[in-house]
Amino acid sequence: MNPIKTFILTILISLLSIGETKAQLFSTDTVPLIIHVIHNSEAIGTGHNLNPAQIASQFSILNSDFAGQGWTVSHIPSVWASLVANTHIVFVPALVDTNGVLLSEPGVDRIDRNSKGWSNTATMNSVNLQAYLNNTIKPQSIWNTNNYCNVWILDMGASGLLGYSTFPANSGLTWITGGTGNATNDGVCVHYRCWGDTLNTMAPYNHGRTATHEFGHWLGLPHMFNGCGAQVIADIPIGNYNQSFSSPVFPDVADTCSGYPNGPMFMNFMCNAINDSDIYMFTLGQAIAMRQAYINSHGSLKLSNVGTITSVASNPKSFLDFKVFPNPSSGIIHITSNVKSKKIEIKALNSLGESVYQENVTNFVGSSVIDLSKQSKGLYFIEMRCNDKTSIQKIMIQ
């Protein structure tokens, strides 16, 4: 059997053995992010205390990249076009904090390092920076990793790092031998000027691909190995991945290996030291590996509702009981509820937490229909409010 097909079959069997049915293998799963913005007492939108628009811009980048539809993916060489994968992993902002209280800024936790007594990370070398993050900043700011994927945005200036991530623990991926996350350090770190694609970013890493790369690590993917040996993921082409590409042109003849004239797949998100404009794909093999890591290591996020239902956790009576269907939907969405009031508010939010639809219903009789058919395909949240009660349900528009 073709080695790529053998690899894929092996992983599929592994996924099925841990409880995923064939239909669920590539169902869409969400990763709720809480983004800890570490700043130096600046006002919001100034310096390290990033503008909300810059923070929000990264969500659309991640979701496009992980869907195989990111910026510049049309540049893919025809020989590898069939390998571009949709991972069916969607990133959303957390909507509530660890106490179940609605966040005023979805997905964001702004932290003044001065008020915490934390040192200036901008002056640290890479070894000291990672040690300080793991021993001080992360343990003092991390949110429950069973419910949130934690992200830290900070100044990595002197370290030379653009980002780094923990690897998934107990993933079953044989190439992971260290650097795994735990309850006090699991998550992703990104240089504050490499997050998003607008405002305070720095070229050539100003299109959000640092975060895409680091979430690849968080989901178990390694860098490509140097030299002309086989990669650990079988559908990665053989080539000399020398990690000094910057902005190469296909085919990278200087880095070809005997019998492999196409050269390295330098446009892969996990190829290191490439400009943001020149990386734009995961392969199917990588998508399957990430799926295994998600299930084995971050499976608790499948049960987390911090990115889908908002309310005060200590007051469960504040939830509204309502349903949305069909799900997935073409955009015509039916809402049913046994709420006793005729006056309700219905709102639809996109994956960035932006309102795309709002209606005040003054004669609700148990059901209503809203039309989102003109909205882009993707993940949305339907919010229903009545008096002091609120709930949100997620729905996919296809």
Q: What is the DSSP letter of 324?
A: E
Pick 7 or 202 by higher pLDDT: 202
pLDDT band at 352 (very low <50, low <70, confident <90, very high): low
Architecture category of domain 3-302 in CATH: 3-Layer(aba) Sandwich (3.40)
Active-site residue (options: 20, 214, 345, 383):
214
Section 76-95 average pLDDT: 93
For residue 332 the two structure tokens come to: 């015509």
pLDDT tens readout for residues 251-267: 888 888 888 999 899 99
pLDDT tens readout for residues 119-143: 999 999 999 999 999 999 999 999 9
Distances (CA, A) of 114 to 40, 52, 127, 139: 6, 21, 22, 17
Length in residues, the chain:
398
Question: Dihedral of CA 96/193/269/182: which sign?
Answer: negative
Determine the Cα–Cα distance for residues 263 and 278; give it in Å rounded to an integer: 15
pLDDT tens readout for residues 145-160: 999 999 999 999 999 9
Query: Given this model, what pLDDT does residue 230 score?
Result: 85
Determine the Cα–Cα distance for residues 310 and 167; give it in Å rounded to an integer: 30
Pick 96 or 143 by higher pLDDT: 143
Q: Is the pLDDT of residue 107 over 70?
A: yes
Domain boundaries, the chain: 3-302, 316-397
Lowest mean pLDDT among 46-60, 210-224, 317-331, 354-368: 317-331
pLDDT band at 377 (very low <50, low <70, confident <90, very high): confident
**% of the chain at pLDDT higher than 70:** 88
Q: Is 214 a catalytic residue?
A: yes
Determine the Cα–Cα distance for residues 275 and 272; give it in Å rounded to an integer: 9
When mean pLDDT is compared over 174-183, 342-351, 369-378, the highest value belongs to 174-183
Instruction: Supply φ then ψ for residue 49, to 5 degrees.
Output: -90, 80
Is 3-302's fold the same as 316-397's? no
Residue type, 162: L
Determine the Cα–Cα distance for residues 91 and 216; give it in Å rounded to an integer: 13
Query: Given this model, what pLDDT does residue 4 score?
Result: 42
Distances (CA, A) of 364 to 323, 332, 347, 368, 384: 14, 18, 15, 7, 12
Query: Given this model, what pLDDT does residue 68 score?
Result: 93
Q: Is the pLDDT of residue 5 over 50?
A: no
The matching CATH number, chosen from 2.60.98.20, 3.60.15.10, 2.100.10.30, 2.60.40.3080, for 316-397 is 2.60.40.3080
Lowest mean pLDDT among 16-20, 34-38, 201-205: 16-20
Average pLDDT of the chain, as a whole number: 86
Strands (DSSP E) found in the chain: 29-39, 89-93, 108-112, 149-154, 163-165, 188-191, 322-325, 332-337, 344-350, 355-361, 367-371, 378-386, 389-397
Check: CB of residue 226 under 8 Å from CB of residue 194.
no
Residue type, 111: I
Query: Given this model, what pLDDT does residue 340 score?
Result: 67
